[in-house]
Amino acid sequence: MYIVSLIFRLANACEFKYEIIQFFMGGQNVKQKASLLSLVVVMIMGFGLTACAGTNNTGSNSNASPGASSSSSPGSSASPNEKPFAGKKVSMLLSQNAFTEEFRDVIIPQFKAKTGIDVVVDVLPESGYDTKLIMSLAGGTGEYDVVMSGAKNWSQMVSSEWIIPLDDYYNNSEDEYKNGFSQSLMNTLKVNGNTYAIPNNIGSNLLYYNKEMFEAAGIDPNDPPESLDEMIEYAKKLNKPEQDKYGFVTRGTREGNANSFSWIMMWFLNGGRWVGVEGRPDYAVLDLPEAIKTMDDFKTLTQYSPSGIASYGFQEAQLAMQQGKAAMWIDVASLGPSLEDPAVSSVAGKIGYHVLKGKGEDFTVGSVWAYSITKTAKNKDAAWELIKYITGKEVSLQQILSGTNGSPARADVLELEEVKKVFNEDFIDALKVATSYSNPHYTPLIAEGSEIRSALSVAISEVITGQKESEKAMKEANEQTLAILKKGGYLK
């Protein structure tokens, strides 16, 4: 019976199962069948493996380069039952937040079970992430195959040739995968006409506010502030430090230039922009009235914030909201769902969502977290399989349902009935409004962009800690920006 079973398996692979069935069902006598059976076994043993190689071979090609897939082109996938990359190893660097922790603890083990690829994950706090990312890539050690990054990193990463274009991988992927992303989004994320990163989430900033604290302060929770100036007035009324309650919270730390991200959200509302300002070189705009006013506004709001705000990253700000200590918070939409999770938030069901009105038609930031393959990656094909998996529809839905990704980059998942049942209706409405006004170019998109953001972050830190006045700090930051632009050859 074993021989018969083997014959059928090989016959099926070589697509001549019908002939074998005919053989066993035919009228030959036992002696004839035995003779023919022996002949068939010999034929299959001698020729079956090579004859079938063209139809079902998953073995490695001795002429293939290291890490090459058995697929005919980058991005193409093997059938579900195959594991062409089993045993390969991929290393990954992530910035710490709810969805990356879920990657490490839940998603990556699922991926390994499905593909056989071993993934080593390093998850670092936001405060030290950019430093680790740049040092690792600049060193060319090949420490990481896949890295997580945002728009602020791409210019330097691309110009330094630390990451590779992903167009071939992406274009050769299944339509179902590609169609989940809007073409306008993918076009926006290109650098020099090429795709270097695949997005996992993209979130515009929202105003989160505690309805219960509004009521306690005599403010109608259905009447949130409409502008930045109004928000400052609300923060003053809501601030109750003697009760360990504060009117506002934000990212205040200069680590990773985090405070500049929150500052830019406010600057956009006041009409500030990096490029296209009449009479000014692009990016040398930090001493203009909009920037100085924003610095004054930022300083005022931090006076209605918890003590130690100058060391707050997004995690500390989020925790202050979850614990009911802060009444208002401006940050990206991806952080919103955790406020509604009763397991970690004491204010679940008490949060309002709103979009402050700003100047122009693109006054919210379109922040992106995305994934790239490093130039030094040893197993680039396996690295692409990892990126495709964690940015795919299945994982996007999984993270929405778990509450770790509030603003997925994939548009297709937002149409699923499961998602419509999970998200707070007010949150979805606010997210749609914010996204319609989003500006993905919220950071200087040149190789020296991080240096400019660093100069801005230092200025913010100096102002909110009382070391300098807004005007002086911003003029100095702009002078540093001009020097950076001249050194980079953008100005004479």
**Which pLDDT tens digit goes with each residue over 241-293?**
999 999 999 999 999 899 999 999 999 999 999 999 999 999 999 999 999 99
pLDDT of residue 440: 76
pLDDT of residue 98: 86
pLDDT of residue 382: 97
pLDDT < 70 regions, the chain: 1-81
Topology annotation, domain 89-200+368-425? D-Maltodextrin-Binding Protein; domain 2 (3.40.190)
Q: Nearest CA to 23 among 2, 7, 10, 9?
A: 7
Strand-strand pairing, 438-439 and 364-365: parallel
pLDDT of residue 282: 95
pLDDT of residue 75: 54
pLDDT of residue 80: 52
CATH class of 205-365+448-487: alpha beta
Own/partner long-range contacts of 356-361 (Cβ < 8 Å, ≥24 apart): 356/207, 356/225, 356/226, 356/227, 356/228, 356/231, 356/269, 356/330, 357/226, 357/227, 357/269, 358/227, 358/228, 358/268, 358/269, 358/270, 358/271, 358/437, 359/269, 359/270, 359/271, 360/271, 360/273, 361/437
**CA 402, chain centre distance (Å):** 16
* CATH 3.40.190.10 domain locations along the chain: 89-200+368-425, 205-365+448-487
